[in-house]
């Protein structure tokens, strides 16, 4: 198995969340939940005589993505017809772009964290990104197939990389980074399970002796980043296995079977596809002025990479925390709301990436669902401030956070109702320390005799005696003072 190098290019189809479809005023709806064929009009049904009109909002969204991916936006754009027959394609051709796409020659830097390896940055070149219209959806039922055209005509941006990706981890990192950008731009929810973002790796493997690429396969139906990773890894292994056992890879489209947890061959391609592209005569050439590009460029929001740099520079976060806080836009939103509510940046980062993420993991919450928990950013900020202000110690705070997760109550109220406020009163602490020392005379003797590790045990006894509410700093100081006093 050694020596083989995976060569992967990615094709990503991202639906653009415009109000209306790519070529008509027909509204765009959630095609998973909306009743079938309720968001259709003569244009999206391809009725005879209907004509397309370009949705300029979709063009602008696509430009935003292109600019975020460091692409050139050529001044002359053209749509083309891509012909093939299928019942989910109303016109028998898809209006797409062929030799004059909207965005070309970009790149995206992605941070890759291989399993058991050091993180590194990989530059993935973007070959092109072009606009097209989505197809409808077929559902196979007993005795036939049903077609739903709600999705037909929804603006779709196809983003194609150069074959720069060399592992499943890189493929996943690329998709994760791209998804994050799409979310930050507000053009796509990133929900792979609903098919609004479809990530399709084109995979081949290369032997050190190879002068050119080998046959590649395309993997589809990947409904999460996790599945993308697993399917990519499985396909790389399958291809290497085939070659090592003297076999050949056939050009094919594969899909991930969710139930069987494995790849299945969907279609073997025996010859090149024949799409008979030609310029769409119903649409004039779309000229994109430099002024328009500049205008869109100026409107771009802060993107994950810039936000990460800012978190590190302005708030002093470490690289890891900064990355996990910006990767999901929802997390970044939450974090920034916590900051806005007055919490300290570093403390808030620690509490989110530590305790809150643990709670979310334990409860099956994805990172992007952070704002769906019962804890508001305002409440979370209050908790951080209680700890930073010395009113709660960390252990108690974790308990309070658990209660907040369960009930959604304000931290101050939980502290008050459960009497969890940290005790910093030196009198109460001195009393507790004296009692513990008196009750553990032998331990004290051992400590004084040189077993200094026993300090921790005594510390713990005092904490327990104070039901965890004592301020650890004050306890530590008092305990030290009283023990040293015993030395005489």
Give me the residues that bind other proteins (CB under 8 A), please. Answer: 42, 45-54, 81, 83, 85, 87, 90-93, 145, 147, 272, 274, 276-278, 281-284
Are residues 332 and 180 in contact, defined by beta-carbon separation less than 8 angstroms? no
Name which of 106 and 155 has its Cβ closer to other proteins. Answer: 155
Closest alpha carbon to 123 in 69, 76, 56: 69
**CB within 8 Å of 235: residues ≥ 6 apart:** 201, 203, 217, 219, 254, 263
The least CB distance from residue 39 to other proteins, in Å, is 15
Name which of 82 and 469 has its Cβ closer to other proteins. Answer: 82
Tell me how many helices (H) and strands (E) the chain has: 16, 15
The least CB distance from residue 108 to other proteins, in Å, is 31
The least CB distance from residue 54 to other proteins, in Å, is 7
Name which of 83 and 223 has its Cβ closer to other proteins. Answer: 83
The least CB distance from residue 300 to other proteins, in Å, is 28
Name which of 269 and 333 has its Cβ closer to other proteins. Answer: 269
Name which of 40 and 444 has its Cβ closer to other proteins. Answer: 40
Residue 140 burial (CB < 10 Å; 0-12/13-18/19+)? exposed
**CB within 8 Å of 26: residues ≥ 6 apart:** 20, 39, 40, 41, 43, 44, 153
Name which of 61 and 79 has its Cβ closer to other proteins. Answer: 79
Provide the token pair at 251: 């050009």
Rounded Cα distance between 303 and 103, Å, is: 18
Are residues 37 and 150 in contact, defined by beta-carbon separation less than 8 angstroms? yes
Are residues 383 and 411 in contact, defined by beta-carbon separation less than 8 angstroms? yes
CA angle 114, 14, 298 (to 5 degrees): 95
Rounded Cα distance between 202 and 220, Å, is: 9
The least CB distance from residue 140 to other proteins, in Å, is 11
The least CB distance from residue 288 to other proteins, in Å, is 16
């Amino acid at each position: 198995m050694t020596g083989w190098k995976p060569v992967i290019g990615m094709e990503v189809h991202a639906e653009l969340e415009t109000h209306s479809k790519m070529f008509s005023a027909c509204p765009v709806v959630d095609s998973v939940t909306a009743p079938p064929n309720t968001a259709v009009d003569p244009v999206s049904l391809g009725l005879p005589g209907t004509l397309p009109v370009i949705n300029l909002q979709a063009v602008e969204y696509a430009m935003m993505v292109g600019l975020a991916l460091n692409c050139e936006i050529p001044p002359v754009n053209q749509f083309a017809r891509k012909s093939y027959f299928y019942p989910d394609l109303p016109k028998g051709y898809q209006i797409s772009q062929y030799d004059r796409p909207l965005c070309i020659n970009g790149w995206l830097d992605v941070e890759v964290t291989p399993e058991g390896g050091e993180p590194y940055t990989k530059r993935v070149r973007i070959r092109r990104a072009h606009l097209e219209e989505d197809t409808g959806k077929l559902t196979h039922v007993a005795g036939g197939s049903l077609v739903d055209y709600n999705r037909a005509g929804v603006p779709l941006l196809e983003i194609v990389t150069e074959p720069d990706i060399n592992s499943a981890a890189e493929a996943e990192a690329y998709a994760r980074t791209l998804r994050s950008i799409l979310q930050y731009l507000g053009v796509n929810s990133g929900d792979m399970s609903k098919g609004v973002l479809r990530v399709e790796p084109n995979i081949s493997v290369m032997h050190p002796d190879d002068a050119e690429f080998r046959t590649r396969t395309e993997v589809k139906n990947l409904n999460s980043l996790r599945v993308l990773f697993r399917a990519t890894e499985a396909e790389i292994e399958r291809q290497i296995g085939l070659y090592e056992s003297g076999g050949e890879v056939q050009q094919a489209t594969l899909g991930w079977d969710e139930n069987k947890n494995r790849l299945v061959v969907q279609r073997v391609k025996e010859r090149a596809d024949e799409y008979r592209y030609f310029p769409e005569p119903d649409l004039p050439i779309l000229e994109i002025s430099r002024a328009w590009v500049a205008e869109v460029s100026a409107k771009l929001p802060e993107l994950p990479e810039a936000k990460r740099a800012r978190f590190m520079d302005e708030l002093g976060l470490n690289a890891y925390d900064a990355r996990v806080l910006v990767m999901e836009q929802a997390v970044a939103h939450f974090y920034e709301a916590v900051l806005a509510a007055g919490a300290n940046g570093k403390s808030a980062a620690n509490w989110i990436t530590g305790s809150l993420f643990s709670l979310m993991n334990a409860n099956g919450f994805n990172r992007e669902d952070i704002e769906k928990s019962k804890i508001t950013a305002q409440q979370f900020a209050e908790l951080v401030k209680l700890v930073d202000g010395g009113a709660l110690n960390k252990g108690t705070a974790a308990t309070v956070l658990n209660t907040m997760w369960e009930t959604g109550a304000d931290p101050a109220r939980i502290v008050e109702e459960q009497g969890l406020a940290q005790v910093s009163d030196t009198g109460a602490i001195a009393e507790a320390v004296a009692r513990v020392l008196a009750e553990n005379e032998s331990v004290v003797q051992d400590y004084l005799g040189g077993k200094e590790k026993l300090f921790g045990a005594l510390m713990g006894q005092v904490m327990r005696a104070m039901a965890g509410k004592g301020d650890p700093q004050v306890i530590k100081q008092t305990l030290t003072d009283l023990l040293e006093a015993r030395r005489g």
